């Protein structure tokens, strides 16, 4: 019996450590935010993990303890109670409250993502089977099948649509995913902290080569961007 | 579990006349011509497991293709077909029918009825499912192959322009037949449960499994016609040049997504609620303790069924639907955690203080709780719009849905199959190999699907036939886990087939239920006699 309790304690501690690992520092190897939106998404994720970890540990912990402690033993009859209104009210009310609390940061982050600030560069993203076309209307630049180039630190707004089937423009590190629906234009914005190359790919099944519909975004300094766009305008 | 003492009551004089079909037939005709709910239930089980083995084999081949980046086990178009059929078959031709099959067998007996309310309709429901599945499967061998747009089949990818072969047409036709089968079954179950309960069995004395079937079948009745409508629209778009979903002619592909998910989100509950009912029966049976909070459980079941209709938009957070709409769908989805939580807490309270016997059904039932908690929690995360957008259509969602449908539905189905196998077959299965099956399934399941959370958060989209090298390590683990699952399922098949032939005879109640947890099927022989009861029991 003592040994079993020891095991139960060990397992509960183990579960808590696992839950803690999934939370704060471990999220860093799964999510690498480089935009304000993506950072907000990650901190929302941490909050969600923190709140739900409580229920996870309590539920899995009770399950473990029950399984270890209440194995049938000769001469020990099962309990006969099967109702407790107060307990039922508690386990209805507390999760409800937790959901209300969690919806706060979720809705404010959603609002933040949704409200497109005044942008510095506008682009258009058009999905095709199976490549992306990018347009810079202000500069009259259109190209496809090449990396998108945007300046670091500037607010970029994108109009996303498709020419054929539904695609989805997805760059994980930006915290952005937006369906490209034919006949509709969706809006999305991002602001990348620092120069670098970021990979993504189409996230909505779009046919045979859906798995090869990659996205590369080269984020460069504003000066480099000016130089690049001038060259593009000349058709280089 | 609410069955009181069974009191003998004479057979009413008209009863024999009302069942003229009871003269025994033998051989194949016995099965082809039957309207007996038990035989139909058994045929459902065979058919569902047949489709399960095919869809499972597809999953094995897919995991082989994905075991390392850049492999060429499958061509991309074949991968997309197998992936689409895996989803479609697991949902429409395994999980939903096997729940219907178990319910078909068990519910009339638990109610103290001689059969379903409409026995012939019951046979029609079953026989519609056979051509449905075979039609869809046959498309694999036709020119252009099967439908390859996922089980969700979003247009315009399913339009004739992008999917010219007959695959999508057969997919639609198959689902139409399966849907008709579901609707007819729904009518039958609802009428049976409302009207054929034994004398004295009030609604709140019904076993929990019957309650979950009632709620499930009501969901089917309201949701499936919407799917049928959407399928018809897709079919006329393909066949007759209408443009419900063609943007160029004023249609909108997003409309399909609304209609599809208006059915398919409730379908999640269609797939999981009966499983929850089985768990609510199996836990008390092996704890020697009554189900905790019966009325709360009934309310939670009904609550899940109702709120389940209000959350379909959470599949569309990245589609670009209105902000306020997303806010509503987000909160409604979070609220579902509350009745689901009530169920989990009540199950924990059921086994707490019990006298637990870990036979195979109990192992699967406990495994169900352990895994379903994880699926439920990732479900809460996914209800948060910004996080959903981050991981929508990535492997994170694949992980979540398999924790709910594999860790949830399938574990419950396995618990139910082991639990009722002696009753249905009249034979005992091999307990040792049953336990081996459980442990391989439990370990293999976590090995396969836990890493998919990581893949998804790293940014690996779902439904891709190969992937960038940075996702390789987690995929190795997932494929190894799939192999473990494959071994486990093979052991299951061999154990069951062997036991069917060579198993020991099962007594009336092989689980030695306590008086408080024994439902009516454990008061009749294994297998039960024709028409179940010599005299209709009276429940006190």
Residue B282 has which token pair?
């199996």
> Taking residues B290-317, what's their average pLDDT?
95
Q: Given this model, what pLDDT does residue B414 score?
A: 98
For the segment B49-65, the average pLDDT, to the nearest whole number, is: 97
Shortest Cα distance, chain A CAs vs residue B35, angstroms: 39
Read off the pLDDT of each residue in B76-85 and give the average, rounded to a whole number. 96
Predicted structure pTM score: 0.93
Over residues B108-121, the pLDDT tens digits come to: 999 999 999 999 99
Contacts of A113 (CB under 8 A, 6+ apart): A37, A40, A175, B386, B389
Residue of B1, B303, B333, B384 for testing the chain A interface, max A β-carbons within 10 Å: B384
Q: Using the beta-carbon criterion (under 8 Å), do A77 and B355 form an inter-chain contact?
A: yes
Of the candidates B378, B285, B294, B306, the one whose C-alpha atom is nearest the C-alpha of residue B343 is B294
Half-sphere exposure of B144 (CA within 13 A, CB side): 17
Nearest to B338 among A45, A78, A95 (CB): A95
Alpha-carbon gap: B26 to the closest alpha carbon of chain A (Å) = 44
The pLDDT of residue A23 is 54
Find, in chain B, the residue whose alpha carbon is nearest to that of A103.
B331
Which pair of structure tokens corresponds to residue B224?
A: 């499936």
Q: Which of A70, A201, A211 sits opposite B352 (nearest CB)?
A: A70
Instruction: Let me know: does B377 contact B403? Beta carbons within 8 Å.
Output: no
Q: What is the pLDDT of residues A14-31, one digit of tens each?
A: 776 666 665 545 556 788
Query: Cβ of B483: how many Cβ atoms within 10 Å?
Result: 16
Query: Over 50: is that where the pLDDT of B381 sits?
Result: yes
Task: Choose the closest CB to B318 out of A106, A177, A210.
Answer: A177
Beta-sheet pairing, A156-162 with A121-128 = parallel
Mean pLDDT of A88-107: 95
Which of A 52-91 lie inside 8 A of B, CB atoms? Answer: 52, 55-56, 59-60, 62-63, 66-67, 70-73, 76-84, 87-88, 91
Helix axes B323-335, B337-351, angle to 10 degrees: 10
Between A3-12, A46-55, A157-166, B178-187, the lowest mean confidence (pLDDT) is in A3-12
Which residues of chain A are within 8 Å of residue B373 when distances are taken between CB atoms?
55-56, 59-60, 63
Asked whether residue B136 carries a pLDDT value surpassing 80, the answer given is: yes
Helices vs. strands in chain A: H and E counts, helices first = 5, 10
B148 to A208: CB separation less than 8 angstroms, yes or no: yes
pLDDT at B16 over 50: no
The band of B23, judged by pLDDT with boundaries at 50, 70 and 90, is low
Q: Which two three-digit tokens encode residue B204? A: 């709140």
Task: Return the residue in A22, A29, A30 with the most chain B beta carbons within 10 A, the one to mutate for interface testing.
Answer: A30
Going by the DSSP 8-state scheme, the letter that residue A127 receives in this structure is E
Average pLDDT, chain B: 93
Per-residue confidence at B469, pLDDT binned at 50, 70, 90? very high
Inform me whether the pLDDT recorded for A107 exceeds 70: yes
ipTM of this complex prediction, to 2 decimal places: 0.91
**Domains identified in chain A and CATH numbers:** 30-71+81-115 (1.10.287.90), 121-234 (2.60.40.420)
Res. B13: pLDDT tops 70 = no
Contact B323 A170 (CB under 8 A): no
Q: Name the pLDDT band for B12 (thresholds 50, 70, 90).
A: very low
Q: How far is A13 from chain B (nearest CA, A)?
A: 16
Cβ of B353 within 8 Å of Cβ of A79? The answer is yes
> CA torsion angle for A161, A165, A171, A176 (degrees, to 10)?
50
A128/chain B closest Cα distance in angstroms: 12
Tell me the pLDDT tens digit for each residue of B481-509: 999 999 999 999 999 999 999 999 999 99
Which tens digit of pLDDT belongs to each residue from B188-222?
999 999 999 999 999 999 999 999 999 999 999 99
- Tell if the CB–CB gap between B154 and A110 is shorter than 8 Å: no
Please name the member of B162, B389, B458 whose beta carbon is closest to the beta carbon of A207.
Answer: B162
Q: B297: which 2 tokens? A: 């459980």
Q: Which of A52, A60, A184 shows the shortest C-beta gap to B370?
A: A60
Task: Please check whether residue A23 is in contact with residue A49, taking contact to mean a CB–CB distance below 8 angstroms.
Answer: yes
Q: Does A13 score more than 80 pLDDT?
A: no
Share of chain B above pLDDT 70, in %: 96
Give percent of chain A above pLDDT 90: 82
Of the candidates B458, B456, B449, which has an alpha carbon nearest to the alpha carbon of residue B481?
B449
Q: Do B345 and A183 touch (CB under 8 A)?
A: no
Is the pLDDT higher at B90 or at B144?
A: B90
**Alpha-carbon torsion B65, B71, B73, B78, what sign?**
positive
* pLDDT of A14: 72
B339: nearest CA partner in chain A: A92
Per-residue DSSP letters for B280-336? Answer: HHHHHHHHTSPPTTHHHHHHHHHHHHHHGGG-GGGG-TTTT--HHHHHHHHHHHHHT
What does the angle CA B334 – CA A167 – CA B459 come to, to the nearest 5 degrees?
60
Least CB–CB distance from A96: residue in B155, B338, B385: B338
A127 in contact with B, Cβ within 8 Å:
no
Q: State the Cα–Cα distance between residues A197 and B396, nearest whole angstrom.
A: 24
**Residue A234 — very low, low, confident or very high, per pLDDT cuts 50/70/90?**
confident
Q: With an 8 Å Cβ cutoff, are B389 and A173 in contact? A: no
Cβ-based neighbour number of residue B7 at 10 Å = 14
Query: Are A201 and B292 in contact (CB < 8 Å)?
Result: no
User: A235: pLDDT confidence band, cut at 50, 70 and 90?
Assistant: confident
Give the residue on B whose Cα is nearest the Cα of A61.
B370
The alpha-carbon radius of gyration of chain A (Å, integer) is 25
Q: A141 forms bridges with which residues in the sheet? A: A136
pLDDT at residue B116, as a whole number: 96
| Mean pLDDT in residue range A56-77 | 93
Name the token pair of A161. Answer: 């649509």
Q: Considering only alpha carbons, which residue of chain A is nearest residue B66?
A: A211
- Apex CA B227: angle with CA B223 and CA B232, to 5°? 145
Q: Which residue of A has its CA nearest to B454?
A: A30
CA-to-CA separations, B145 to B108, B165, B178, B512, in angstroms, rounded: 41, 7, 20, 51
Residue of A nearest to B390 (CA): A175
Task: Confirm or reject contact between A203 and chain B (CB < 8 A).
Answer: yes
Confidence (pLDDT) at A21: 60
Q: B197 and B134 in contact (C-beta within 8 Å)?
A: no
Are B207 and B522 a contacting pair, CB within 8 Å?
A: no
Q: Report percent pLDDT > 70 for chain A.
A: 91
Asked whether the beta carbons of residue A62 and residue B352 sit closer than 8 angstroms, the reply is yes
Cβ–Cβ contact A166 with B under 8 A: yes
Q: How far away is chain A from the Cα of B459, in angstroms, using its nearest Cα?
A: 5
């Amino acid at each position: 019996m003592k040994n079993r309790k020891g095991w139960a304690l060990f397992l509960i501690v183990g579960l808590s450590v696992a839950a803690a690992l999934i939370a704060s520092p471990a999220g860093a190897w799964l999510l690498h935010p480089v935009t304000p939106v993506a950072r907000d998404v990650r901190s929302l994720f941490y909050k969600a993990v923190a709140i739900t970890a409580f229920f996870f540990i309590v539920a899995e912990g009770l399950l473990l303890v029950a399984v270890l402690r209440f194995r049938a033993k000769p001469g020990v009859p099962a309990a006969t109670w099967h109702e407790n209104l107060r307990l039922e009210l508690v386990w209805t009310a507390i999760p409800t409250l937790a959901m209300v609390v969690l919806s706060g940061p979720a809705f404010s982050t959603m609002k933040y993502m949704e409200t497109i600030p005044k942008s510095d560069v506008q682009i258009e993203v058009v999905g095709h089977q199976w490549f992306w076309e990018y347009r810079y209307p202000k500069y009259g630049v259109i190209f496809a099948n090449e990396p998108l180039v945007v300046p670091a630190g500037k607010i970029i707004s994108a109009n996303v649509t498709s020419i054929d089937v539904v695609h989805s423009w997805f760059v994980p590190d930006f915290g952005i995913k937006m369906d490209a629906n034919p006949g509709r234009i969706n809006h999305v914005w991002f602001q990348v902290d620092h120069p670098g190359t970021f990979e993504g790919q189409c996230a909505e099944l779009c046919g045979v080569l859906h798995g090869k519909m990659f996205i590369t975004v080269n984020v460069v300094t504003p000066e480099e961007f000016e130089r690049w766009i001038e060259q593009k305008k000349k058709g280089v | 579990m609410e069955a009181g003492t069974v009191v003998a009551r004479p057979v009413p004089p008209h009863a024999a006349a009302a069942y003229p079909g009871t003269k025994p037939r033998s051989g194949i005709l016995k099965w082809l011509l039957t309207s007996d709910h038990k035989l139909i239930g058994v045929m459902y089980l065979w058919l569902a497991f047949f489709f399960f083995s095919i869809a499972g084999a597809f999953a094995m081949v897919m995991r082989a293709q994905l075991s390392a980046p850049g492999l060429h086990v499958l061509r991309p178009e074949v991968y997309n077909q197998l992936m689409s059929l895996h989803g479609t078959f697991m949902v429409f031709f395994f999980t939903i029918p096997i729940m219907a099959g178990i319910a078909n067998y068990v519910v009339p007996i638990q109610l103290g009825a001689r059969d379903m309310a409409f026995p012939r309709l019951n046979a029609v429901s079953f026989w519609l499912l056979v051509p449905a599945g075979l039609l869809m499967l046959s498309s694999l061998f036709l020119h252009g192959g099967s439908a390859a747009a996922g089980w969700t089949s979003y247009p315009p990818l399913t339009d004739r322009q992008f999917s010219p072969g007959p695959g999508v047409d057969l997919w639609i036709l198959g689902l139409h037949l399966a849907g008709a089968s579901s609707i007819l079954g729904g009518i039958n179950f609802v009428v049976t449960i409302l009207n054929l309960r034994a004398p004295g069995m009030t609604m709140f004395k019904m076993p929990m499994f019957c309650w979950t079937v009632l709620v499930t079948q009501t969901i089917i009745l309201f949701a499936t016609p919407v799917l049928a409508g959407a399928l018809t629209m897709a079919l006329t778009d393909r066949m007759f040049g209408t443009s419900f979903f063609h943007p160029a002619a004023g249609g909108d592909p997003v409309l399909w997504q609304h209609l599809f998910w208006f059915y398919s989100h409730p379908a999640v509950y269609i797939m999981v609620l009966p499983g929850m009912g089985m768990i609510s029966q199996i836990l008390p049976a092996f704890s020697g303790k009554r189900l905790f909070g019966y009325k709360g459980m009934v309310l939670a079941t009904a609550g899940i069924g109702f709120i389940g209709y209000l959350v379909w938009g959470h599949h569309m957070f990245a589609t670009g639907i209105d902000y306020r709409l997303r806010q509503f769908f987000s909160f409604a989805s979070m609220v579902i955690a509350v009745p689901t939580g009530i169920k989990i807490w009540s199950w924990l309270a059921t086994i707490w203080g019990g006298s637990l016997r870990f036979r195979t059904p109990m192992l699967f039932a406990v495994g169900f709780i352990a895994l379903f908690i994880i699926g439920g929690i990732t479900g809460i995360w996914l209800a948060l719009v910004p996080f959903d957008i981050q991981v929508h259509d990535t492997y994170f969602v694949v992980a979540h849905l398999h924790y709910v449908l594999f860790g949830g539905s399938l574990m419950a189905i396995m618990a139910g199959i082991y639990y009722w196998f002696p009753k249905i077959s009249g034979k005992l299965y091999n307990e040792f190999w049953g336990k081996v099956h459980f442990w391989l399934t439990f370990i293999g399941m976590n090995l396969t699907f836990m890493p998919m959370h990581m893949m998804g958060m790293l940014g690996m989209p779902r439904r891709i036939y190969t992937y960038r090298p940075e996702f390789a390590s987690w995929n190795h683990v997932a494929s190894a886990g799939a192999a473990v699952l494959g071994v486990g399922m093979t052991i299951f098949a061999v154990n069951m087939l062997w036991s069917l032939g060579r198993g020991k005879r099962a007594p009336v109640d092989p689980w030695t239920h306590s008086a408080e947890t024994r439902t009516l099927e454990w008061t009749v022989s294994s297998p039960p006699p024709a028409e179940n009861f010599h005299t209709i029991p009276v429940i006190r």
